Amino acid sequence: MRLRSGFALLLAIAAGAHPAAAQPNALALLHAAVEAPRLVSYEGQVQLLTIGTQGSEASIFRVEHRAPGLTRRTYISPPNLYGDWSVARGDATYAVDVKHKRVFATLNESFGMHFGWSHDLGLLTRNYKAVIGPDAHVAGRMVHTIALVNRYTGLTTMRLWVDVETNLMLQRQLYATNGGLVTEMRFDDVTFTNAIADSTFNLPKGYPIVLGPERGLPSEQPGYVVAHCGFTAHTPSYLPRGFKAVTADVADENGVHTLHVLYSDGLRTISLFENARGAAVDMTGYHPASFAIGALHGQWVDRGPTTLLAWSQSGLHYALVGDATRAELEKIAVSL
């Protein structure tokens, strides 16, 4: 993602201005927050910040969401994206490039439900403990807070601020293993409404639609997809603790069949891309650095919470992308 932004201060609410909300059950609140975007329609302004070793990226956008599956983002910042907008319709995303009057369509891949945190609660709760924190205020609304603590490391990986009335997540922070903030999403304002017009989600007339990579429908039987991807693919013998393969698909990337396996611990995700013909990944627009582990040589990029590793070996081309450290991804790469 290239869209990010800076953050407003928490609103100061005088003590006693509102009665204290009853403390909810942590797992029940987490489940309600996952379900809220399917049930609640809203519009508002969002700030998104990602902090990486090679710099920070920020964006501000207006969001209009009509439950259960229509979302539009209109970008206010950074300046080079001002006026561009995107629409998610279920599992398809359409990015409208206003300056060049065209639409980029990606099928079987959406924004992710409510800004991209995981919704596999069974897997998440096996690997993370949900802990209720003190109530607070975001965008002028009272919120409950939840910390998601990794059961193996004892570290807080994510903190959520959930609207007391609607259960919509209004703020989210993701932390690195050293405790530092790497991503923050925050609503500056939000209005709950069912009066968002159909035309809000219509694509502009006359703009040509440019199709992105042809993705297959993700299968929840990744072993079967790997065995039938069209070439002899490899699977890692090492994964970070708590991770497992959850879905897989085969995409047509410029005529090259590329296997994609998604690994998750219920909160963090790691994607493995593998093909037998093209290249590991196009690094255009990035500033990659080289890495070498024995006979394994490749390039890597740090994009805030996301690290990308790319290399070729024994006629196959690989890329690992995920919410993981370079050291974790290198251990996965070696195990292939």
What the block records as the tokens of 39 is 């049930």
What is the pTM for the complete model shown? 0.83
Domains 26-209 and 213-335 share a fold: no
pLDDT at 158 over 60: yes
Residue 327: CB atoms within 10 A of its CB come to 9
pLDDT of residue 213: 64
pLDDT of residue 251: 81
pLDDT of residue 301: 86
pLDDT at 17 over 50: no
How large is the average pLDDT for residues 291-303? 85
pLDDT of residue 274: 94
Residue 253, strand partner residues: 256
pLDDT of residue 12: 28
Q: Which of 77-81, 202-206, 248-252 has the lowest mean pLDDT?
A: 248-252
pLDDT at 214 over 50: yes
Euclidean distance between CA atoms 244 and 157, whole angstroms: 18
**pLDDT, tens digit, 9 for 90 and up, residues 224-240:** 999 988 899 999 999 99
pLDDT of residue 211: 84
The DSSP bridge pattern shows strands 128-138 and 141-150 to be antiparallel
**pLDDT, tens digit, 9 for 90 and up, residues 34-51:** 899 999 999 999 999 988
pLDDT of residue 130: 94
CA angle 189, 141, 37 (to 5 degrees): 70
With CA atoms as reference, report the closest residue to 266 among 34, 28, 25.
Answer: 34
Euclidean distance between CA atoms 164 and 143, whole angstroms: 5
Beta carbons of 259 and 273 less than 8 angstroms apart: yes
Domain 213-335, classified CATH 3.30.200.100, yes or no: yes
Q: What three-state secondary structure class fits 185?
A: strand
- Residue 278's pLDDT band (cuts 50, 70, 90): confident
pLDDT of residue 265: 92
pLDDT of residue 201: 96
Beta carbons of 183 and 160 less than 8 angstroms apart: no
Q: Where are the domains of the chain?
A: 26-209, 213-335
Q: How many residues does the chain have?
A: 336
pLDDT of residue 217: 62
pLDDT of residue 215: 62
* CA-CA-CA-CA torsion sign (285, 58, 204, 253): positive
Record: fold of 26-209: outer membrane lipoprotein receptor (LolB), chain A (2.50.20)
pLDDT of residue 330: 93
**pLDDT, tens digit, 9 for 90 and up, residues 313-330:** 888 999 999 888 889 999
pLDDT of residue 13: 25
Burial of 329 (0-12, 13-18, 19+ CB in 10 A): buried
What the block records as the tokens of 21 is 């909300």
